[in-house]
Amino acid sequence: MKTIFFSGPRWIWVLVFAVAFGFARAPLENRLTERLQGAHLLPALPEQQVMDQMRQSVLLGTLGGLRSLISTFLGLKVYNHFADREWEELLETYEIILALEPREEAHWDMASWHLGYNATADMSKNPFLNEFEAEQRRIEFAWQGIRLAERGIEALPESVKIRRRLAGIYESRLKDNCAAADIWGEIAIRRPALFAPFSCLFSGAMSGERTGSL
């Protein structure tokens, strides 16, 4: 046995052992990765569209513990876009942040707030847009905010914070009180204590008697 292992070139045997170990561990690793992803300890791979937007530095940042740091610093970039009122760029940056940290409630909340509130408000004040165009773009951004919040709820089904944001956009930007009341209803199921002082208003909103905000 000893002569077989020690006679030929050593690297061949090293390669054979490495390949055998690779085949043995691959199914175990796949299972463990699935379990870790199921427990949200490992993030799922980002979608292709988002990977296209990621630069090499960001892709490298997803390695070895830098994911959170990169998303924090992309937050600074978002702030610059917000200050410069660059809403499309802000959305692109948020797509990367959300792909890096899809379980971070604050990112979904802030992304939908920026699009649903700030971008819509900015459209109304934009001197370069005529009234019709400004209104079209305002509604478009409100829907982008809504879509982000809905994706956030899909990622974090129990989130009250994102639901509050979503209800707010429906209510204040689209004047859709019915949709807002539905969302408040979902919140009430999850956080009844939040509604105790307003129970009479809430029941009114749910039955359609009240159309204002809660």
Binding site for other proteins (CB under 8 A): 5-6, 10, 13-14, 17-19, 21-23, 25-26, 28-29, 32-33, 35-36, 39-43, 45-46, 48, 51, 59-60, 62-69, 72, 75-76, 79, 101, 103-104, 106, 193
Cβ 8 to other proteins shortest distance, Å:
12
Cβ 87 to other proteins shortest distance, Å:
19
In this structure, what token pair is assigned to residue 112?
């939908």
Q: Which is closer to other proteins, CB of 81 or CB of 138?
A: 81
Alpha carbons 160 and 184: distance in angstroms, whole number: 9
Alpha carbons 87 and 214: distance in angstroms, whole number: 29
Q: Which is closer to other proteins, CB of 64 or CB of 212?
A: 64
Indicate left, alpha or beta for 118 from its phi (over 0: left) and psi (-120 to 50: alpha): alpha
Sequence-ordered strand ranges (E) for the chain: none
Alpha carbons 56 and 191: distance in angstroms, whole number: 42
Q: Which is closer to other proteins, CB of 113 or CB of 170?
A: 113
Q: Which is closer to other proteins, CB of 16 or CB of 178?
A: 16
Task: Find, among 98, 78, 75, 97, the residue nearest to 88 by Cα.
Answer: 78
Cβ 124 to other proteins shortest distance, Å:
27
Cβ 134 to other proteins shortest distance, Å:
31
